[in-house]
């Protein structure tokens, strides 16, 4: 559910989203001005358009491919402060190391993976 809360503590239901990704207790989401990204391990990244939110319309725009990467249970997700990039860390299954996947929300799904930043070894929250 997406709620709007005003200064008088009144709630207005703006949208309800039903997705298998949101059923996973390990999911995370990131929101910027126009988009909401829902990431659910081990392999789901969904993009929702929020531009018509106050018209009660939230539409899933696309799903992103993870290619040879897998989301770990303790992944991080961040939007860029500027532009349309978001970052998520994942396991490179071929090289057995952690990588940061950089996606562009404004690109077609097939071209959305903008960059991969390879990190040395296996990094997660438990060993940082």
Total of domains in the chain: 1
Q: Is residue 55's pLDDT more than 80? A: no
Confidence band for 89, pLDDT divided at 50, 70 and 90: very high
Residue-level pLDDT at 61: 87
Beta-carbon contacts of residue 8 (< 8 Å; ≥ 6 apart):
none
Q: Is residue 46's pLDDT more than 90? A: yes
Distance CA 91, CA 126 (A): 15
Beta-carbon neighbour count of residue 40 at 10 Å? 21
Range of the domain at 107: 2-127
SS3 66: coil
Q: Is residue 23's pLDDT more than 70? A: yes
Residue-level pLDDT at 71: 93
Q: Is residue 102's pLDDT more than 90? A: yes
Q: Please, are residues 63 and 108 in contact by the beta-carbon 8 Å criterion?
A: no
Residue-level pLDDT at 124: 55
Residue-level pLDDT at 123: 59
Residue-level pLDDT at 127: 45
Sequence-ordered strand ranges (E) for 1-128: 2-5, 11-15, 28-31, 35-40, 44-49, 59-63, 69-70, 77-79, 85-92, 97-104, 113-118
């Amino acid at each position: 559910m997406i709620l709007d809360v005003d200064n008088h503590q009144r709630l207005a239901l703006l949208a309800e989203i039903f997705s298998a990704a949101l059923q996973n207790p390990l999911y995370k989401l990131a929101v910027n001005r126009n988009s909401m990204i829902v990431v659910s391990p081990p392999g789901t990244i969904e993009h929702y358009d929020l531009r018509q939110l106050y018209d009660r319309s939230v539409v899933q725009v696309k799903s992103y491919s993870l290619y040879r990467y897998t989301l770990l249970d303790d992944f991080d997700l961040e939007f860029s402060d500027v532009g349309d990039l978001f970052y998520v860390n994942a396991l490179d299954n071929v090289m057995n190391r952690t990588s940061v996947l950089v996606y562009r929300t404004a690109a077609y799904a097939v071209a959305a993976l903008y960059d991969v930043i390879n990190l040395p070894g296996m990094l997660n929250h438990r060993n940082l």
